[in-house]
Amino acid sequence: MENLKIDKDNIAKLKKDWQNFMESENPFLRTNLPKFFKKILVAFFNVQVILPIFIGQKIIGKRIQIHHDFIPKNIKKVKMPPELAVDFLDTKEIHNKFEETFQTEVDTFFEILGKYFKKEDLSFFFRNIQSLNFKEVKQIDGNPNTLGYYMARKNKITLLKNSDNNTIMHELFHMASSYRDQENGISYSGFHQKGKGINLGNGINEGYTELLANRYSNIVDSNCYIFETETAKILEKIIGKDLMQSLYLQANLKGLITELSKYQTEEKIRQFMQNLDLWEKYKNEPSLTEKMDNCKKNIGTFLLELYLTQTNIELKETNFKDENSLHSFLQKIRDYLYDNALLSYLFSTAEIDNFFAKFLNNTIDEKREQIAKYKQEQTELRIKEEQAEWDQKLGNFQFSNGPTKVEPIKDYYFGPKR
């Protein structure tokens, strides 16, 4: 399963090679014509060769445009200038501000933030809530499946009329995790970072935003961002709910990559995010079905390897006293992999078993050797303890110093008494 790659650099190299070739091989450069005429003929020759390449580049460029938007070059950690930090607003201020729009929904959202999230992670929320605007529309242009969106540049949430609570909470989470760096032209929104030289993380950002909205709206089955949400669940299981929520609200894509790099290379992490971004953007494009299937398989492979790498570390660090405790640990891992909605959708049980064996079997063998050694040590220790106990008991028993004197057997008379 190859990861999708960008071919634009190859086109640029081809163009440069042609230019070098023309400078060295162009026949007009070797004539005795005046310099002015040479330049005209060389220019004409260049146009004849370069123009088709340029046109071809545009055609190919359209075909690979699905790759072009996702070139990560300069992932940053957002740092909000001190002068933009704001004092926390109280419940009453927030309540009064939205009495003519979505007061109930904002009140509920604020209550959830206060109950389940750390206060130090709410800087973007308190900054954005002061100037947040809502707009209701009958139709959202561009995508008929879009129910709403948040625009960080304008700090505005646009919603379809009669949107449900889950949709509103989804967009409020976007608002609470977004910061627009106007000076540098970078938008930070949860795990999505977009700006000069970077557009990465939109897929995982939408998935985790939907996961949070579902969790705190008590929604069990949602029809939005299903694949992305299941992906986010696995990442959250690996790095922990509290940490992932904090990184999200701090718009810390760099921090997320740092955490995941404990188990995979940054290059593989970026390829995973690129594939998920492509899936999120083009999953409904019929002409790209094969590419999207490849994206899904790559995403699943990354997640499975990531989880098993972390599991292998945990397995190595755990001490097992017997086979039953080791078996229970391994069975719990297998049950999670077999029952996981995304992994069981992408892989057969046999494929999952192959991954399991590849990543864990060597460590399992080591653990079994440790268990056998532990049993032997415990057996030897028990024998020593029992021996010491018997030595202590027998040590109190007194024997005579000399040999026992044995008297000769006397003759006995068995007849009648005399």
Q: Is residue 275 part of a domain?
A: no
Give yes or no for a contact between 335 and 383, defined as CB atoms under 8 angstroms apart. Answer: no
Considering the domain architecture, whether residues 102 and 158 belong to the same structural domain is answered as: yes
Q: Cα-atom radius of gyration of the chain, to the nearest Å?
A: 36
Considering the domain architecture, whether residues 64 and 86 belong to the same structural domain is answered as: no
Considering the domain architecture, whether residues 247 and 310 belong to the same structural domain is answered as: no
In the block, residue with structure tokens 């040479």: 38
Give the pair of three-digit tokens for residue 25. Answer: 């091989």
Strand partners, 156: 133, 151
Alpha helices in 180-265 (DSSP H): 202-217, 226-239, 241-249, 253-260
Q: Torsion-angle region of residue 417: left (phi > 0), alpha (psi -120 to 50) or beta?
A: beta
- Give the pLDDT of residue 118: 92
Short-list 185, 183, 155, 182, CA closest to 171: 155
What span, in angstroms and rounded, lies between the C-alpha atoms of 209 and 229? 8
- Give the pLDDT of residue 12: 58
What span, in angstroms and rounded, lies between the C-alpha atoms of 136 and 65? 32
Q: Is residue 180 part of a domain?
A: yes
Considering the domain architecture, whether residues 169 and 223 belong to the same structural domain is answered as: yes
Q: Is residue 280 part of a domain?
A: no
What span, in angstroms and rounded, lies between the C-alpha atoms of 16 and 41? 19
Considering the domain architecture, whether residues 105 and 225 belong to the same structural domain is answered as: yes
Give yes or no for a contact between 232 and 211, defined as CB atoms under 8 angstroms apart. Answer: yes
Strand partners, 186: 181
Q: Is residue 396 part of a domain?
A: no
Pairing of β 156-160 and β 133-137? parallel
Give the pair of three-digit tokens for residue 195. Answer: 């700006």
Considering the domain architecture, whether residues 217 and 315 belong to the same structural domain is answered as: no
Contacts 24+ apart (CB under 8 A), 330-337: 330/360, 330/364, 333/360, 337/304, 337/307
Residue 296 CA, distance from chain mean position: 14
Considering the domain architecture, whether residues 176 and 308 belong to the same structural domain is answered as: no
Q: What is the largest CA-CA distance in the chain?
A: 167
Q: Is residue 235 part of a domain?
A: yes
Considering the domain architecture, whether residues 341 and 309 belong to the same structural domain is answered as: yes
Q: Is residue 138 part of a domain?
A: yes
Considering the domain architecture, whether residues 306 and 256 belong to the same structural domain is answered as: no
pLDDT tens digits for the chain (418 residues)? Answer: 444 444 455 555 555 555 554 555 455 555 556 666 666 666 665 555 454 444 444 443 333 333 333 334 456 555 544 444 445 556 677 777 787 778 889 999 999 999 999 999 999 999 999 889 999 988 887 666 788 999 998 999 999 988 888 999 999 999 999 999 888 889 999 999 998 878 999 999 999 999 999 999 888 777 889 999 999 999 999 999 999 999 999 999 999 999 999 999 999 999 999 999 999 999 989 999 999 999 999 999 999 999 999 999 999 999 998 999 999 999 999 999 999 999 999 999 999 999 999 999 999 999 999 898 888 877 878 888 888 877 777 765 555 555 555 555 555 555 555 5
HSE value, Cβ hemisphere, 13 Å, CA-based, for 24: 6
Q: Torsion-angle region of residue 160: left (phi > 0), alpha (psi -120 to 50) or beta?
A: beta
- Give the pLDDT of residue 101: 77
Q: What is the extent of the structural domain holding 48?
A: 8-68
What span, in angstroms and rounded, lies between the C-alpha atoms of 263 and 272? 13
By three-state DSSP, how is residue 286 classified? helix
Residues in CB range of 162: below 8 A, 6 or more apart: none
Element (H, E) at 149: strand 148-151
Q: Is residue 418 part of a domain?
A: no
Considering the domain architecture, whether residues 121 and 63 belong to the same structural domain is answered as: no
Number of domains within the chain? 3
Considering the domain architecture, whether residues 58 and 140 belong to the same structural domain is answered as: no
Q: Is residue 271 part of a domain?
A: no
- Give the strands of the sheet with 186-189, arranged side by side: 178-181, 186-189, 192-195, 198-200
Give the pair of three-digit tokens for residue 257. Answer: 């990559």
Considering the domain architecture, whether residues 33 and 109 belong to the same structural domain is answered as: no
What span, in angstroms and rounded, lies between the C-alpha atoms of 171 and 180? 16
| AA identity, residue 17 | D
What DSSP character marks residue 400? -
How many helices (H) and strands (E) the chain has is answered by 16, 7
What span, in angstroms and rounded, lies between the C-alpha atoms of 228 and 370? 40
